[in-house]
C-alpha cells in the first residue's frame, strides 16, 4: 500500500457535520429491503428441523415421508453437505453447526431441512421427518462443565495449554495465559486485597431482524445469495467452500441489515439454503423464526470469573490476577482468551496474571457480541476495583486515575501503549455534572471503565465520478448504523465538494475486491481510510485532466477546495476548474474518472470509555430503575457526531439490558426456556432515561483524520457501572449478572459481603 495513513488533517469542512443519511428516506418509508424483503421468481420456502435434545447421537434420519409429500421439492441432511473443509477445524465447526453430522449438540441444533412450495407444506414436511436420537447426558452450566466428571461433549478434546499434557478428554478446550511480573510478590506488598468470584449469564445480541436469505443455485453452478450479513465476502467464502463452489461463482448481495452486533459475522443457515436450492433446482427463501434465532444463533458466553487485586495504603495497585471461565457452546472458540486479554487492560500494573479457560457446553455456538468477552471481564474487574478503592479509602474515580494506563504503560496483555484515551475519559467523568447530582434514598451511583481493541482489515473502495459531477462511492463494509453518511462526508471532505454530491452504496461481492466484515469497530475506520486513498487517486486524475484541458504540465496543477488550480504566475488568466467542469469533459480527456483503493487498514488503535450510572432499587421487590446514564468515550475524530452518539447510546442500552434483565434460562432438560422477546426481556423505551454522551477526540495518529473505531467499546463498561451503582444503592456487593429482581432480593436477604460505604 503506497498510501500514507498517518494523521494529517486537523481542520475539516464536511467531516464533523451532521447531514441526513442517504439511505434514510427508504428506511422511514418502509421501502428499504432487508433480508426477508426480497423474493425471486419461483422461490420455495425453506424450513429447518431442529433437535429438541441438548445432547444426543443421531442414529439415523428417515426423510422418505417428507420427500413424498406433494409440494416438497428437496429435503436435505448432513449427507447433502459433504465435508469439504480440508482439515480447517473452524470451518468444520461452522459446517457441523449449520447441519449436525453425528450428534445434536444443543436444543435447536439443525438436523435436516426442507424446501417446499409454501410455508404450510414446509412445516408439514418437517413433521414427517423422523430422527432416531440416542439421548445423552448434557451439561449447560459453565462451572459444571468445567468440573471433572461432567458429561463429555467431545471426547476428542484434550485441554491445550496445560503444563502437563492431559490423558483424559475434557470439556475444557484450552488454557491461555497473559501477564507479566510476579503476582505473588505483588500481593505480598499489598496492604489491602479484594478477592471475589463473579458470574454472568448468557445473553443474545438481540437484533430485531431474524437471519434471512434467498439462495439461488443454477444448473451451471452459478449461485446468488441475498442475505442480511455483516460480511458478504466472509459469507461468500464460507458458503463457497462448504458447497464446493468457486467463490467467484457465488455472488453475495447484502441486504440492509436489521442489526448484527457480531451475530451476523458467520453463516448459520445460508449454506443450508444454498444446498436446498441446489437440490431443488429453484431459489429457496429461508428465514429464521425468532425462536430459532435464540435457540440456534450466536449468543455470547456465560462466564465464571475469579478476581484478586491488591493495593498499598497509598492506592497503588501492586498485583492483579484473574481466572476466567467462558462457555463457547459445543465448539472450540477463543472467547476466554480475549477476556483474559482485556480484563486489566485499563490499568498500569507491574504484576498481573490472567488465565482463561474455554469451556464446552450444550448450548448454541457462541458468537461475537459487540466487544466480545470484554464486558464480562470488565464487570468482574471493575467491581473489584470499586471495592478495593473503598477499602483503601479513595474515591472510585480517583483510584482509577491513579492506576490508569498511559502512553508507555505495558498493557496487561503485553504490548506497550501508544497515546491512549483512558486518562482523559476518567478526567472528563470526574468533572462531569452527573457526578455532582444529588442522590436520594435507595439510589446508588456507579462508574466503570472499559477497553476494547479496534481492527482494520482488508478494505476496497471504488470512487467513480459521473459526467454530471456526482460521485458514486462503492464500499464493501456493510452499513449497520449510518456509515454511508460518514463515508460520503469523508469523500466530500477529501475532494472538497458538497456532501450532497456524493452517493454511497454497499457493493456486492462481484463488484468489489475482498472486504473484511463490519466488525471490530472497523466499518467507518477502515472504509474511510480506503475512501481517502481512493479520493486522492481520483484527484491525481482530475489534475491530469485539468492539465489537458488547459494544455499545461500536470505538475503545475493543484487541487484545492474542489477545484483544479493552475499554480504559477504565468497561468494568471486561467480560472479554476471545478470537479463538475472537469467531469463534464471526461469523455474527451481520457474517459471516465475514478479512484480505487485496495488496502489493509491497520493501526486502528485501542479504545477506552468510562460510564456513569445512577440506579434506584426498590428494596421490597428488587426492581431497579435507571435514573441517569452518561457515556464518555474517545472517538479520535467523530466523522458524523450524531452517529457516534448513536453507537455510544446503543452499546450502553445493550449493556443495561445485560446487567439488569437478560439471560438465557435452561431447564434441567437442557432446553432453552425463554426463546422469545417476552421472556428474554431486552430494554424497552420506558426502561431507560435519556443517555448522555460526551465524545472526546484524541486523534488516532494512524489515520489521516485521526478516526478511531467507536462501535463496540460502549458495551464494555455498563455491566460494571450498573453493578457498582446497585451495590452502592443496596449496600451489598453484587456478583451475579443479570441483577434481576430475584437476585437483588436474594442479595439483600443474604446481606453477604457487605462492603464499606
C-beta of 36 vs 426, nearer to another protein: 36
**Burial environment of residue 514 by CB neighbours within 10 A (0 to 12, 13 to 18, 19 or more):** middle
Calpha distance 537→525 (Å, rounded):
19
Q: Tell me the angle at which helices 89-98 and 232-243 cross, rounded to the nearest 10 degrees.
A: 80
Minimal distance in Å, beta carbon 538 to another protein? 24
C-beta of 287 vs 722, nearer to another protein: 287
Minimal distance in Å, beta carbon 378 to another protein? 15
Pairing label, strands 56-62, 130-135? antiparallel
Minimal distance in Å, beta carbon 202 to another protein? 15
Cβ 688 vs Cβ 625: under 8 Å: no
Calpha distance 468→583 (Å, rounded):
7
Minimal distance in Å, beta carbon 159 to another protein? 12
Give the closest residue to 215 by CA, choosing from 291, 297, 258, 279.
Answer: 279
Cα dihedral 379/385/390/396 (nearest 10): -90
Query: For 79, which DSSP code?
Result: G
Minimal distance in Å, beta carbon 550 to another protein? 39
C-beta of 123 vs 185, nearer to another protein: 123
Minimal distance in Å, beta carbon 629 to another protein? 9
> Any residues with CB less than 8 A from the CB of 351 and at least 6 apart, and which?
179, 180, 181, 182, 183, 185, 186, 187, 318, 319, 320
C-beta of 192 vs 335, nearer to another protein: 335
> Any residues with CB less than 8 A from the CB of 228 and at least 6 apart, and which?
34, 35, 209, 211, 212, 213, 254, 255, 256, 257, 258, 260, 264
Minimal distance in Å, beta carbon 214 to another protein? 13
C-beta of 163 vs 167, nearer to another protein: 163
C-beta of 48 vs 368, nearer to another protein: 368
Cis peptide before 239 (omega within 30 of 0): no
Pairing label, strands 457-465, 502-506? unpaired
C-beta of 32 vs 558, nearer to another protein: 32
Q: What is the DSSP string of 366-384?
A: P---SSTTHHHHHHHHHHH
Minimal distance in Å, beta carbon 181 to another protein? 12
C-beta of 169 vs 259, nearer to another protein: 259
- φ/ψ of 640, rounded to 5, equals -125, 95
> Any residues with CB less than 8 A from the CB of 103 and at least 6 apart, and which?
55, 56, 57, 58, 136
Pairing label, strands 593-601, 457-465? antiparallel
Tally of CB atoms within 10 A around 306: 16
Minimal distance in Å, beta carbon 88 to another protein? 9
Minimal distance in Å, beta carbon 118 to another protein? 9
C-beta of 421 vs 520, nearer to another protein: 520
Question: What DSSP element (H or E) covers 226?
Answer: strand 223-227
C-beta of 454 vs 727, nearer to another protein: 454
Amino acid at each position: 500500500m503506497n498510501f500514507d495513513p498517518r494523521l494529517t488533517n486537523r481542520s475539516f469542512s464536511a467531516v464533523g457535520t451532521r447531514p441526513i443519511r442517504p439511505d434514510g428516506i427508504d428506511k422511514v418509508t418502509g421501502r428499504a429491503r432487508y433480508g426477508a424483503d426480497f423474493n425471486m421468481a419461483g422461490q420455495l420456502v425453506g424450513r429447518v428441523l431442529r433437535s429438541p435434545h441438548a445432547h444426543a447421537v443421531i442414529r439415523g434420519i428417515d426423510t422418505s415421508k417428507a420427500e413424498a409429500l406433494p409440494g416438497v421439492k428437496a429435503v436435505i441432511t448432513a449427507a447433502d453437505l459433504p465435508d469439504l473443509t480440508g482439515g480447517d477445524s473452524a470451518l468444520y465447526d461452522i459446517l457441523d453447526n449449520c447441519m449436525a453430522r453425528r450428534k445434536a449438540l444443543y436444543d435447536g441444533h439443525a438436523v435436516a431441512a426442507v424446501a417446499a412450495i409454501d410455508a404450510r407444506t414446509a412445516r408439514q414436511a418437517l413433521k414427517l421427518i423422523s430422527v432416531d436420537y440416542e439421548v445423552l447426558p448434557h451439561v449447560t452450566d459453565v462451572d459444571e462443565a468445567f468440573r471433572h466428571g461432567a458429561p463429555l461433549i467431545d471426547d476428542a478434546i484434550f485441554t491445550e495449554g496445560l503444563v502437563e499434557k492431559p490423558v483424559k478428554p475434557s470439556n475444557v478446550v484450552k488454557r491461555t495465559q497473559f501477564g507479566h511480573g510476579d503476582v505473588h510478590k505483588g500481593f505480598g506488598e499489598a496492604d489491602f486485597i479484594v478477592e471475589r468470584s463473579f458470574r454472568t449469564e448468557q445473553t443474545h445480541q438481540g437484533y430485531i431482524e431474524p437471519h434471512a436469505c434467498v439462495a439461488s443455485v443454477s444448473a451451471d453452478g452459478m449461485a446468488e445469495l441475498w442475505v442480511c450479513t455483516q460480511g458478504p465476502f466472509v459469507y461468500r467464502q464460507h458458503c463457497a467452500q462448504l458447497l464446493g463452489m468457486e467463490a467467484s461463482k457465488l455472488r453475495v448481495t447484502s441486504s440492509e441489515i436489521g442489526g448484527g452486533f457480531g451475530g451476523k459475522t458467520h453463516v448459520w443457515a445460508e449454506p443450508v439454503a444454498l444446498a436446498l436450492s441446489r437440490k431443488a433446482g429453484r431459489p429457496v427463501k429461508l428465514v429464521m423464526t425468532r425462536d430459532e434465532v435464540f435457540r440456534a444463533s450466536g449468543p455470547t458466553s456465560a462466564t465464571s470469573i475469579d478476581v484478586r487485586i491488591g493495593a498499598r495504603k497509598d492506592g497503588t495497585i501492586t498485583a492483579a490476577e484473574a481466572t476466567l471461565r467462558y462457555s463457547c457452546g459445543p465448539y472450540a472458540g477463543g472467547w476466554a482468551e480475549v477476556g483474559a486479554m482485556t480484563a486489566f487492560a485499563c490499568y498500569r500494573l507491574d504484576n498481573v496474571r490472567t488465565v482463561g479457560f474455554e469451556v464446552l457446553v450444550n448450548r448454541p455456538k457462541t458468537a461475537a457480541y459487540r466487544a466480545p468477552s470484554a464486558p464480562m471481564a470488565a464487570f468482574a474487574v471493575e467491581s473489584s476495583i470499586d471495592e478495593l478503592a473503598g477499602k483503601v479509602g479513595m474515591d472510585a474515580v480517583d483510584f482509577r486515575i491513579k492506576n490508569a494506563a498511559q502512553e508507555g504503560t505495558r498493557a496487561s496483555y503485553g504490548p506497550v501503549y501508544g497515546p491512549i484515551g483512558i486518562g482523559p475519559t476518567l478526567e472528563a467523568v470526574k468533572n462531569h455534572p452527573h457526578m455532582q447530582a444529588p442522590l436520594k434514598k435507595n439510589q446508588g451511583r456507579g462508574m466503570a471503565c472499559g477497553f476494547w481493541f479496534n481492527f482494520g482489515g482488508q478494505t476496497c473502495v471504488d470512487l467513480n465520478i459521473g459526467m454530471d459531477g456526482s460521485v458514486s462511492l462503492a464500499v464493501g463494509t456493510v452499513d449497520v448504523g449510518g456509515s454511508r453518511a460518514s463515508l460520503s462526508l469523508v469523500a466530500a471532505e477529501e475532494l472538497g465538494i458538497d456532501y450532497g454530491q456524493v452517493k454511497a452504496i454497499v457493493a456486492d461481492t462481484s463488484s468489489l475486491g475482498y472486504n473484511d466484515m463490519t466488525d471490530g469497530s472497523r466499518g467507518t475506520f477502515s472504509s474511510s481510510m480506503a475512501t481517502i486513498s481512493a479520493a486522492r487517486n481520483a484527484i491525481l486524475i482530475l489534475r491530469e485532466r485539468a492539465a489537458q484541458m488547459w494544455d499545461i504540465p500536470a505538475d503545475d496543477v493543484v487541487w484545492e477546495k474542489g477545484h483544479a488550480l493552475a499554480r504559477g504566475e504565468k497561468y494568471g488568466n486561467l480560472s479554476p476548474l471545478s470537479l463538475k467542469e472537469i467531469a463534464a469533459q471526461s469523455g474527451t480527456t481520457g474517459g471516465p474518472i475514478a479512484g480505487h483503493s485496495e488496502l489493509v487498514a491497520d493501526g486502528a488503535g485501542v479504545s477506552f470509555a468510562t460510564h456513569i450510572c445512577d440506579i434506584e432499587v426498590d428494596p421490597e421487590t428488587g426492581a431497579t430503575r435507571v435514573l441517569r446514564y452518561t457515556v464518555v468515550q474517545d472517538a479520535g475524530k467523530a466523522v458524523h457526531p450524531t452517529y457516534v452518539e448513536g453507537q455510544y447510546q446503543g452499546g450502553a442500552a445493550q449493556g443495561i439490558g445485560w446487567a439488569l434483565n437478560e439471560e438465557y434460562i435452561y431447564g434441567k432438560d437442557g432446553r432453552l426456556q425463554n426463546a422469545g422477546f417476552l421472556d428474554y426481556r431486552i430494554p424497552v423505551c420506558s426502561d431507560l432515561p435519556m443517555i448522555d454522551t460526551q465524545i472526546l477526540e484524541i486523534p488516532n495518529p494512524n489515520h489521516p483524520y485521526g478516526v478511531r473505531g467507536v462501535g463496540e467499546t460502549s458495551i464494555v463498561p455498563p455491566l460494571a457501572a450498573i453493578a457498582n451503582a446497585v451495590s452502592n444503592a443496596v449496600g451489598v456487593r453484587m456478583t451475579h449478572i443479570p441483577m434481576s429482581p430475584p437476585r437483588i432480593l436474594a442479595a439483600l436477604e443474604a446481606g453477604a459481603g457487605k462492603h464499606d460505604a
